[in-house]
């Protein structure tokens, strides 16, 4: 059992090394909430994956902060002595909000593991100590600029390139990258920018031997994803549509995807992420670890998750240098073979660098057990 005595919410901002543009917007800075829980003996960290706007999901930074401060943290204090497995029940009175919940679940789990001296990777069931890395490349202003970026990432060793796409430039960009690199593992991510009227585009994409097409249609539309999957050869992968194990089971049963992107922050935290992984594995569906431009803290959790046996495809688990000139933690470094080490220390195995954390802090609030 453990008991959380204080919770500190902290908004941090870190400039990105280059703007990251998707079909729903552009980011030049990573702004997110970090949660630090303290028990009598240890501390634990959680990083919220919401963004500044409700663009990727309904949740966003200021909203998640309110949900944490006014509902989840008070529920945690009321619960008193707990084990991580209790948290789902403790937070059950709050509907949805998986990203806010994930932040606190992961922080409590980190503290609990630090108390027991066990690494997150070992606790989750990892079967390796290095993971294969891919990289997600934002929408560039021209095909030439995109090719320059792709060439740079391939030279660094990334094992899979994922192109963000949007209607209008999609086929031209994919064709350019495929022509320059006939053999690489290549995928695309639409972030729900298309409708079922765009089937011709997806039929055309079949010609480029893509590993997958990620989240082409609206996140709530599993039936139309299933219809699209029946019409094209390329595997569909779902990201935004999968917020729980139940969503993953429904999507797979309907034939809405053949691959699942698991983001622990999107599904309510690391414990639900393992359940999604287990369900997909039992159903023979490969999974990979998605990313939300996390700082070194959230990235450490992702690396542990990505080391589970069902994660058979390279994830969006890129090196710190792909995002930040200076990370919040010691940098996660990718080796030239395109793999990165899974942290092995207790809990998530990393901590923020104190001076760096202070320098990046925008505002903070400390909540104490009543």
Please give the positions annotated as active site.
Answer: 164, 263
115 part of the interface to Mg ion, by CB under 5 A = no
Out of 110, 115, 189, 245, the residue judged to bind ligand SMG by CB under 6 A: 189
Task: Report the residue from 22, 39, 187, 295 that binds ligand SMG according to the rule CB under 6 A.
Answer: 22
Size of the site for Mg ion (CB under 5 A): 3
Q: Which is nearer to Mg ion, 138 or 345 (CB)?
A: 138
Rounded Cα distance, 172 and 178, in Å: 10
User: Least distance from C-beta 343 to ligand SMG, angstroms?
Assistant: 17
Should residue 316 be labelled a site residue for Mg ion when binding is judged by CB under 5 A?
A: no
Residues in the chain: 370
Which contiguous run of DSSP H or E holds residue 355?
helix 354-360
Under rule CB under 6 A, residue 291 binds ligand SMG: yes
Do the beta carbons of residue 215 and residue 237 sit within 8 Å?
Answer: yes
Task: Write down the residue that tokens 């090719």 correspond to.
Answer: 147
Within 10 A of 62 (CB to CB), how many other CB atoms are there?
12
Cβ 334 to ligand SMG shortest distance, Å:
12
292 part of the interface to ligand SMG, by CB under 6 A: yes
Among 239, 245, 272, 351, which residue sits at the site for Mg ion (rule: CB under 5 A)? Answer: 239
294 touches Mg ion by CB under 5 A: no
Least Å distance between CB 187 and ligand SMG?
10
Pairing relation of β-strands 6-22 and 25-38? antiparallel
Question: In whole angstroms, what is the distance from residue 123 CA to residue 204 CA?
Answer: 44
Residues 172-231 that bind Mg ion (CB under 5 A): 189, 214
Backbone angles phi, psi at 265, to 5 degrees: -70, -30
Helix axes 222-231, 245-254, angle to 10 degrees: 40
Residue 251 makes contact with ligand SMG by CB under 6 A: no
CA–CA separation, 317 and 156 (whole Å): 14
Q: State the residues that interact with ligand SMG by CB under 6 A.
A: 22, 27, 51, 56, 136, 189, 191, 239, 290-293, 316, 318
């Amino acid at each position: 059992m453990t008991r959380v005595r204080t919770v500190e919410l902290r908004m941090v901002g870190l400039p990105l090394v280059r703007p990251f543009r998707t079909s729903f917007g552009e980011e030049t800075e990573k702004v997110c909430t970090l949660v630090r829980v303290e028990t009598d003996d240890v501390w634990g960290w959680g990083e919220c994956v919401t963004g500044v706007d409700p663009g990727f999901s309904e949740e966003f930074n200021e909203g998640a902060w309110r949900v944490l401060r006014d509902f989840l943290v008070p529920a945690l204090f009321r619960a008193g002595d707990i084990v991580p497995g209790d948290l789902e029940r403790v937070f059950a009175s709050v509907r949805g909000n998986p990203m806010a919940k994930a932040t606190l679940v992961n922080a409590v789990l980190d503290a609990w593991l630090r108390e027991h001296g066990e690494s997150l990777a070992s606790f989750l069931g990892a079967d390796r100590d290095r993971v294969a890395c891919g990289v997600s490349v934002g929408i560039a202003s021209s095909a030439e600029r995109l090719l320059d970026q792709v060439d740079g990432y391939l030279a660094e060793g990334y094992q899979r390139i994922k192109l963000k796409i949007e209607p209008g430039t999609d086929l031209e960009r994919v064709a350019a990258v495929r022509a320059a690199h006939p053999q690489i593992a290549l995928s695309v991510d639409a972030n729900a920018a298309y409708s079922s009227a765009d089937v011709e585009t997806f039929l055309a994409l079949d010609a480029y031997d893509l590993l997958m097409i990620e989240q082409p249609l609206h996140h709530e539309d599993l039936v139309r994803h299933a219809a699209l999957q029946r019409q094209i050869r390329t595997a569909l992968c779902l990201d935004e549509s999968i917020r729980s194990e139940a969503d993953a089971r429904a999507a797979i049963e309907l034939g809405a995807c053949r691959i699942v992107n698991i983001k622990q922050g999107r599904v309510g935290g690391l414990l639900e992420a393992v359940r999604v992984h287990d369900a997909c594995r039992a159903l023979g569906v490969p999974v990979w670890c998605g990313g939300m431009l996390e700082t070194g803290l959230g990235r450490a959790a992702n690396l542990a998750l990505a080391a589970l046996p069902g994660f058979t495809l390279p994830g969006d688990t890129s090196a710190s240098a792909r995002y930040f000139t200076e990370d919040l933690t010691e940098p996660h470094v990718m080796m030239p073979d395109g793999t990165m080490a899974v942290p092995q220390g207790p809990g998530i195995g990393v901590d923020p660098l104190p001076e760096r954390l202070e320098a990046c802090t925008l505002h903070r609030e400390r909540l104490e057990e009543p």
